[in-house]
Copies of this chain bind each other. A is one copy, B any other.
Amino acid sequence: MAEVNKPFKRILITGAAGALGTVLREALKPYASTLRLNDRSALGEVAENEEHVICDLADKSAVFEMMKDVGMVVHLGGAPRENTFQVVLDSNIVGSYNIYESARQTGVRRVIYASSVHAIGFYECTQTIDADVPQRPDSLYGVSKAFVENLSRYYFDKFGIESVCLRIGSCFPKPVDRRMLATWLSYGDFAHLVVRSLVSSSVGHMIVYGNSDNSANFWDNSQAGYLGYRPKDTADIFQDEVFSQTPIPDPRHPAIRFQGGQFAADGHFEDPKVDQHS
């Protein structure tokens, strides 16, 4: 695509140093004249058409500056798995508030948010759910993902800032356990889903499930039909490998029964004990 035809002037990607950010750093090149990349630590060499912003999302002023002159935001930043409440609070709750509140002040029109299966991880694998079921987070991490889904709906209902919340399953190079045969999202399909969220004409506020074209599947994604997401990869080709390398599971174990897998089974990620402090 010729430079002049790139559909967006500047796209901001938060969490750009992580695995998913790295995928998008490459995949979104054709879609913006400038990619502004953000993370807490260095992002390597600044490629042509890139801008790098190193800051913590909990730093409100820094976020505000970063959001200026941006049309679209792909918001991947934050703690990527269960952690202490304080970390979840700072990275995911405060950080995402800063993104949305800055979006309101700087005039950003759309945010693509990396939500997660862990926002609904306490549904059973045998339940097929759509995007309108009540959230059932499986961890504090999942609670924070549900928080941002609701926060983004508020910013759309009141201020008209569009959002697509992607409930990403398991976005890794390949599935490594039996549950991921259902939840796996290939890097390619992830990038495709983000692109569809960017280029669709009028997304309002949507919640969309993100997995590849896997035979096993917990999710009814038909409400996202407008996006036109059509995964091209499938976990099925890894099935024999996964079956041969993993034991036959106990169907009653929480990590097997629930969509969130191990997150639903894990005990609490312990804060430092209160009584140790008292």
Contact = CB atoms under 8 A, between A and B. Distances in A.
Interface string A221-234: 01111111110000
Nearest to A154: B137
Interface residues of A, number: 87
A161 to B, nearest CB: 11
A177 to B, nearest CB: 10
A135 B150 contact: yes
A125 B146 CA distance: 24
Contacts of A125: 201-202, 226
Given A200-B216, A203-B251, A215-B229, A271 B134 contact: no
Interface string A246-264: 0011011000110000001
Contact of A147 (B147, B179, B223): B147
A153 interface: yes
A251 to B, nearest CB: 4
